[in-house]
Structure 1
C-alpha cells in the first residue's frame, strides 16, 4: 500500500490498512443529528493520524479537523477515508517543506465526495442489494429454512466487505482523481440509474410474488353471482397486492409510522377473515 504522491515512507502499512478497514464498520455507532457520522469518521482515520503525527498535540489537532459534519453511505466511506489519508500525508509533507497548506481543503474534498458517493451507495446497497437479498431470503425463510437469513446476510455483506476493502485501496492510491474521472466520464450517473431501475424491478416483482392479498367476496348482480377476485384478476394479475403496496407507500409519505401501519394491516386482516371479505 504505497501512496504515489509521497516519495518516502507511506503511512498506509498493512497494519494501518487493516485497522482502518475494520474501523469503517462502526461509522454510525455515535451518529447524531448535529454532525452525523463525524465521530465515526474520526475513529476510522485515527490509527493513520496517530502514526503520521507521533506527537500527541499534532494528532489531536488533526483529529479535530475531522470532527466537521460528515455523512455518506457507510459501505463507501473507505473511498473518502483513503483519499483523506493521502491528503493528510501531502499536508504534512508541505508543512515540513516550510509551506503553509490550506487545512480547509481536506474537509472541502470530504464534502465534495460524500454526496456523490452517497448517491451511488444508497442506490446499490439500500435500493438494490438489500431488496434483492430480502426478497430471496424471505422467500426461502417462508418455507421454514434458516438458509433464507444466511443468504440475505451473504447477498448484502459480500459486496459490502469487498467495496469497503477496495475502496480504501483505491481511495488511498488514486483518491480524488479516480472519483473525478468516473464523474466526468458519466460512469457515476450510469451506475446510479442502473441501480435504481434494478431496484424498482425487484420491488415490483416482490409485490406480485410475496404479498398475498385477495378477497373471497361474492356479489349477486341480476341473479348471477360475481366473484370480485376474478374481476380484479381480469384487470391485472396481482391487482390487490399492488394496490395495497401503493396505499402503504402513500401513507408512509404522509408521515404514518411503520408500527401503526403494521397494526392496521393486522387489524384489517383479522376483520376481513372474520367477516369473510378476505
Structure 2
C-alpha cells in the first residue's frame, strides 16, 4: 500500500480531529444524526484548507449532511473526507459532490462491521471476563471491562483516522488523473442509495390491520395483499412523500416529525394500522 509522509501540521490536524470526534453524537437530531459533531471534527481542516469565506461556508454546509455510523469507525471516514476537502481546495475542477457520495457510501458498511466487531464480539468478551472477576469478588472487574473494550476501540479510532487521510491523499489524486473519479462517485452514490433504501425498509414500519369483513368473517387481509403488490409499499410512499415535502415544498423537518406522530396516532385510533 502506498503511503505519504504527513507534515507536522497534518499530524496536528489529525490529533484535533481525533479528540473532536468524541463529540460525534453529542448533539443528535432525527434528520442529521451525528452531522453537527462530524462538522465540528472537520472544522480544523476546513479552516486550514480554505481561505475564501464562501468556500468555507460551502464546506461547512457540505459536512452538515446526514451521518450515522459506528463510533469506532467514524474517524476513518473523517480522514478520507478531510483528504478530499484538501483536494477540493487545491483543484478547481474537483467534483465536490463526490465528498458526500463517498461519505454516505462508507458509513453504512462500516457501521455493520463496527457494530458486529465492537458491540457484538468485543463487548461480550469484555463482559465475560469482568463478570468472572466480579463473581470472585475482584473490585477491578469494572475497570478491566472498560480497558478490554476501550483500548482496542481507541486504537482503531486513532489509526483509522490517519489511515483514511493517507488513503485519500494517496489515491484520490490518482483517480482524478486516470479519469476514474466520476465512476467512483457514481458507484458510491449507488451504494449510498442502497443503504438508504435498506434503512427505510427496516426503520419505517406501517402494517395495515384493517381487513375486509363480510358476515363477521375476514375475506381479505389487506397487508398480505399489499406485500404481494410491493413489499414495503406504504413505508416507501411515506418516505418519498416526506422527501418531496422536505425538498420541493421546503417543509420544516420538525413539522414532518410532528405530522408523522399525529398520523401514527390517528391511524392507530381508527384501527387502520
TM-score category by the smaller chain? 0.5 to 0.7
In angstroms, what is the RMSD of aligned CA positions? 2.5
* Counterpart check, 1:160 vs 2:157: no
* Counterpart check, 1:121 vs 2:91: no
CA distance in 1, matches of 2:49, 2:124: 41
Question: Structure 1 82/12 Cα, relative in aligned 2: closer, same or farther at 3 Å?
Answer: farther
Residue by residue over 1:249-268, the C-alpha shift from the partner in whole angstroms, topping out at 9 and shown as x without a partner, is: xxxxxxxxxxxxxxxxxxxx
- SS where residue 154 of structure 2 aligns? helix
Higher Cα Rg: structure 1 or 2? 1
Q: Which consecutive residues of structure 1, in runs of 5 or more, have no partner in the other structure?
A: 179-278
Pick one of 27, 35, 38 that aligns with 2:35: 38
The answer as to whether partners of 1:82 and 1:168 remain within 8 angstroms in 2 is: yes
- SS where residue 25 of structure 1 aligns? helix
Question: Structure 1 83/3 Cα, relative in aligned 2: closer, same or farther at 3 Å?
Answer: farther
CA distance in 2, matches of 1:56, 1:93: 15
Residue by residue over 1:86-143, the C-alpha shift from the partner in whole angstroms, topping out at 9 and shown as x without a partner, is: 1111111112xxx3x3221110000111111111101111101111111211221233
Q: Which consecutive residues of structure 2, in runs of 5 or more, have no partner in the other structure?
A: 173-273
Offset of 1:11 from its aligned partner?
9.1
The answer as to whether partners of 1:11 and 1:51 remain within 8 angstroms in 2 is: no
The answer as to whether partners of 1:83 and 1:172 remain within 8 angstroms in 2 is: yes
Instruction: Name the counterpart of 1:112.
Output: 105
Instruction: Name the counterpart of 2:62.
Output: 65
Residue by residue over 1:204-253, the C-alpha shift from the partner in whole angstroms, topping out at 9 and shown as x without a partner, is: xxxxxxxxxxxxxxxxxxxxxxxxxxxxxxxxxxxxxxxxxxxxxxxxxx
Offset of 1:145 from its aligned partner?
2.1
Question: Structure 1 78/137 Cα, relative in aligned 2: closer, same or farther at 3 Å?
Answer: same
* Counterpart check, 1:145 vs 2:145: no
The answer as to whether partners of 1:3 and 1:10 remain within 8 angstroms in 2 is: no
Aligned length: 170
For 1:210-225, list aligned pairs within 5 A. none
* Counterpart check, 1:77 vs 2:74: yes
Question: Structure 1 87/12 Cα, relative in aligned 2: closer, same or farther at 3 Å?
Answer: farther
Instruction: Name the counterpart of 2:24.
Output: 27
* Counterpart check, 1:16 vs 2:9: no
CA distance in 2, matches of 1:123, 1:20: 25
Runs of 4+ in 1 over 6 A off after TM superposition: none
